[in-house]
Structure 1
Amino acid sequence: MHDDSHKLYYNINEAAARYGFDASKLRYWESVFPMLKPEKRGGDRIYTPEDLEVLDEIVYLVEHKKHKLAAARQIMETGRSQRTKIKRAVQQLETIKRYLQDIKELMK
């Protein structure tokens, strides 16, 4: 697999291939998960890195944790998933790190 993390957007086939799915699965998931809203340009779906983060979460809950779609949607809507909690904790730690770096700079 090559590194395409620099890309700003992905078409539906690229996004589906990332997970080993058919594009039809992603189109269906758009109807089930309201938080999955890729932009449509000229009728083509454009997935941003943020959309792929949402897909990462859906794949984790549905494919790996084996939640039914409705349960996965509810977990995502309420922010109770483990991945969401970890992401929130990392963001808080990054904020604390910046704060401590600012204090360190002031003490020089």
Structure 2
Amino acid sequence: MKDDSHKLYYNINEAAARYGFDASKLRYWESVFPMLKPEKRGGDRIYTLADLEILDEIVYLVEHKKHKLSAARQIMESDRSQRSKIKRAIQQLEVVKRYLQDVKELLK
């Protein structure tokens, strides 16, 4: 098997093969997990590295932790909400940091 670790985009069959299942499972998961939205080019699904990271989480929760799909979806939605809050907090802290740097420069 060739090394595809450098690829940026994967078709649905390549993405499914990475996890050892067929494309129909991915198509179904797209309907269950709204955060899994591969691009479509010419009618073909194209999975990015970000999509594969989402799939990694889904596979971990469903296949390894044995959560039902509905529970895995709730966990992932909760995690996304937390990440969003953290991202906003970081952005606010960056604004404060720039302000303090400006004040520091004025005091020199």
- TM-score, normalised by the number of residues in structure 1: 0.72
Percent identical residues = 88
Q: Which amino acid aligns with 1:35?
A: M
Corresponding residue for residue 76 of structure 1: 76
Q: Which amino acid aligns with 1:63?
A: E
Corresponding residue for residue 47 of structure 1: 47
Tell me how far apart the structure 2 counterparts of residues 49 and 6 of structure 1 sit (CA, whole Å): 10
Q: Which amino acid aligns with 2:75?
A: I
SS at match of 2:6: coil
Corresponding residue for residue 19 of structure 1: 19
Corresponding residue for residue 34 of structure 1: 34
Bigger Rg over Cα:
2
Q: Which amino acid aligns with 2:47?
A: Y
Offset from partner CA, 1:27-61 (integer Å, 9 cap, x none): 00000000000000011000001100000000000
Tell me how far apart the structure 2 counterparts of residues 45 and 77 of structure 1 sit (CA, whole Å): 23
Tell me how far apart the structure 2 counterparts of residues 55 and 78 of structure 1 sit (CA, whole Å): 16
Q: How many residue pairs are counted as aligned between the two chains?
A: 84
RMSD: 2.2
Gaps of 5+ in 1: 89-108
Give the ranges of 4+ consecutive aligned residues of structure 1 lying more than 3 Å apart after TM superposition: none
- TM-score, normalised by the number of residues in structure 2: 0.72
Q: How far has the Cα of 1:2 moved from its partner?
A: 4.0
Give the 5 Å matches for 1:88-99: none
